[in-house]
Chains A and B, each alone.
Chain A
Amino acid sequence: MSAATHETEHHTSLGLDNRKLLMWIFLASECLFFGSLLSTYLIFKGESLSGPGTDIFAFEITSISTFVLLMSSLSMVLAVYGAQHGQLGLMKLMLLCTILLGLVFLGFQVYEFKTFASEGLTLSTNQFGASFFVLTGFHGCHVGGGVIYLGSLLIASVRRNGIGKETPLYIDIGGLYWHFVDIVWIVLFTVVYLIPAY
């Protein structure tokens, strides 16, 4: 009996796959993580006594990066669709698209951070800078981790034997993580960039 067969025969008390259950529990904990960072940002927003504030934001750049991340979420769900319907070519193509769009988003983030630093806003400038860079920096790290995660799935899928018979499950779990990164940015984009300082 192969290890994969032995693995899939494991029965769970809830009737759900443990790996998918773990990802959902992880995402629930990540809600708390980002909730705490966001609350810290909100209490310091508009309270800095010196240094640049929210007037430093460039909406054009952030709007484009937001659209890029939204489209990456679309390509990710199409990759999951491809995996679940046996269309492995579609799955691999959409995985590649998602990774590339994620890298583009990270590129925009790096450019934004460098621009802010050149204009005098850094991690140590003021409370706004500290909370802003920690919040968006951690989100960027999650995007980077997601790119690596999806990259590993893509590499595994193009190997001779592919990921295996549980390909839909693995791609689905990867999709959950990526979509969560996107919904965090949906919230961050609105609260950090769109809502003016009060």
Chain B
Amino acid sequence: MAEMDAVHDAHDEHPTTTIREYLLIGLALSVITAIELVMSLYDDALGAILIPGLLIFSAIKFIIVVAMFMHLKFDSIRFTQIFTFGFVLAAALLTAVVVLFAFDASDAIGGGFIGDPIEHHD
């Protein structure tokens, strides 16, 4: 009886998504990936909307896999909180590092560190 509890917990948690729905989700992910590929081939024509467009499609695929394949939509809210915390922290880290180096006036990439005096190159 008790050992069935864990199995029941797993069964209670499992979503009502059918195999057909999973296949449709897989098809949708493939279509979105194909769209991204086509967008990357026409990067000159798309101009400034290429990068935001690719990131949006990537985010859509990310959310679909996390919500439907990883069952976060149907599982305990605790799992969502834990994963979201890690993801938000990672995104903040990435943003901070990229912004730091993008707006670094001391030209750290070209040589020299933030603490060094700025050298002017002719």
Instruction: Give me the interface of A with B, judged by CB distance under 8 Å.
Output: 2, 4-5, 8-9, 14-17, 20-21, 24-25, 27-32, 34-36, 38-40, 42-44, 47, 59, 63, 66-67, 70-71, 73-74, 76-78, 81, 84-85, 165-166, 168-169, 172, 175-176, 179-180, 182-183, 186-187, 189-191, 193-196
Contact = CB atoms under 8 A, between A and B. Distances in A.
Nearest to B108: A43
A175 B75 CA distance: 14
Contacts of A191: 58
A32 B11 CA distance: 31
A168 B62 contact: no
Contact of A32 (B29, B39, B65, B89): B89
B90 A5 contact: no
A186 B62 contact: yes
Contact of B86 (A15, A32, A175, A195): A32
A31 B87 contact: yes
Contact of A183 (B39, B66, B76): B66
Given A27-B86, A39-B98, A16 B36 contact: no
A34 B65 contact: no
Contacts of A40: 97
Nearest to A70: B29
Contact of B33 (A21, A66, A84): A66
A159 B37 CA distance: 43
A28 B93 CA distance: 13
A4 to B, nearest CB: 6
13 contacts: A5-B3, A9-B2, A17-B6, A28-B82, A36-B90, A36-B93, A39-B98, A42-B94, A59-B41, A85-B14, A165-B3, A165-B6, A168-B14
Contact of A78 (B22, B70, B78, B97): B22
A182 to B, nearest CB: 6
Nearest to A77: B69
B63 to A, nearest CB: 9
Contact of A70 (B26, B58, B83, B87): B26
B40 A194 contact: yes
A24 B76 CA distance: 11
B10 A25 contact: no
Contacts of A20: 79
A2 B101 CA distance: 58
A192 B102 CA distance: 18
Contacts of A168: 7, 10-11, 14
